[in-house]
Amino acid sequence: MQSIKDLKEFATHGNSLLPLKTYSNYHEVEDLLVPYHWHKEIEIIYVEEGAIEVTINSEVKRLKKNELIFINSEELHQINRIGDNPSNHHALVFSPDLLSFEMSDYCQVNHIRPLVNQTLKLPQYIESDKDYSEKVLELFKEILNEYKFQEPGWYLNIKSCLYKILSIFDRNNLFIELDNDAKNLDHKSQQIKNVLTYIHENYEKKIYIEDLANIMNMNTQYFCRFFKKIIGKTPIEYINSYRINVANKYLQSEDIPIIDVCFRVGFENQSYFIKMFKKYNNMTPLEYKKIFLVSDDLNIKTSNNI
């Protein structure tokens, strides 16, 4: 099973000539959990059906049908499902360099370069009752449609739609300029990536809060408060949730005893592992495992009947 070794996402989204890619995700029975990660690209997520929960740093937003969220370059973020209802969402991931001009005109100097340099940020969320929200949604749907069919001029039109979205932001004073306090918080948010990376690399071992605090040169009390402010969970809560996420993947893909999964993901006590598993999945590990075993059996029977 492939494990996450760095919070930075190294997946290639497009190529040097076309630095963008769209993704469509429909989730019904299986879990939807994309753990905290970051990438250089800007990401826009649109919910077509159902609802999802997106966390950007410490900001948690529940997106429902026909809502958008904007994730700026290098922002820590994760995605969760809400309840057991199915959801269908789409994402555009693109390099901010895509928007750059060779000529340093007004737009390049005042909007594009600051976006690339991260001194100017996109708004995370647009209230659906605003008169411009429908236009932004229409433009994003047009981007998805252009990418899907890729008829002549599709890339030009995608860039045109992105510029139109930026013009709506500028016209309605939605861009976010980082002041000194925001820059300082943003710097500390960057530092905490090292802490999360350490957790992702060592989840199968015993993790001490003191070691995590030392990574940021903080005392444990201040570190715990700061961690919860940025991530929205205590360090222990985050470690447990990440371990359970890894356990889910083991139970989905491998037929191994529950006790082995418990120890593989860093829990030292099976009873505590089961308690945490039920907290995050609303079922026992065995019940969870049986769902995917039944699914695999059905797939085998179907393939044998072809």
Fold classified for 180-294: Arc Repressor Mutant, subunit A (1.10.10)
Closest CA to 36 of 54, 23, 62, 21: 54
Chain centroid, CA 227 distance in Å: 18
Look at residue 301 in the predicted model and tell me its pLDDT: 42
Q: What CATH number is given for 20-177 in this structure?
A: 2.60.120.10
| 31 and 248 Cβ atoms separated by less than 8 Å | yes
Q: Where are the beta strands (DSSP E) in 1-114?
A: 20-27, 33-37, 42-49, 51-56, 59-64, 68-71, 77-81, 87-94
Look at residue 193 in the predicted model and tell me its pLDDT: 84
* Domain range summary for the chain, segments of one domain joined by +: 20-177, 180-294
Sequence-ordered list of residues with C-beta below 8 angstroms from that of 56, at least 6 positions apart, any chain: 69, 71, 75, 76, 77, 124
- pLDDT by residue, tens only, the chain of 306 residues: 333 345 556 566 778 889 999 998 876 545 556 888 889 999 999 999 999 999 897 788 999 999 999 999 989 898 988 877 788 999 999 999 999 988 888 999 999 999 998 889 999 998 888 999 999 999 999 999 999 999 999 999 999 999 999 999 999 999 998 765 555 566 666 778 889 989 999 999 999 999 999 998 899 999 999 888 878 789 999 999 999 989 998 998 888 899 999 999 999 999 999 999 999 888 999 999 888 775 554 444 434 444
DSSP-derived secondary structure letter, 56: E
Look at residue 82 in the predicted model and tell me its pLDDT: 81
Secondary structure element (H or E) that encloses residue 259, with its range: helix 258-264
Look at residue 303 in the predicted model and tell me its pLDDT: 40
Separation between Cα atoms, residue 240 and residue 232, nearest integer Å: 14
Token pair 């059905």 in the structure block, residue: 298
Look at residue 297 in the predicted model and tell me its pLDDT: 47
Look at residue 150 in the predicted model and tell me its pLDDT: 96
Give the strands of the sheet with 42-49, arranged side by side: 20-27, 87-94, 42-49, 68-71
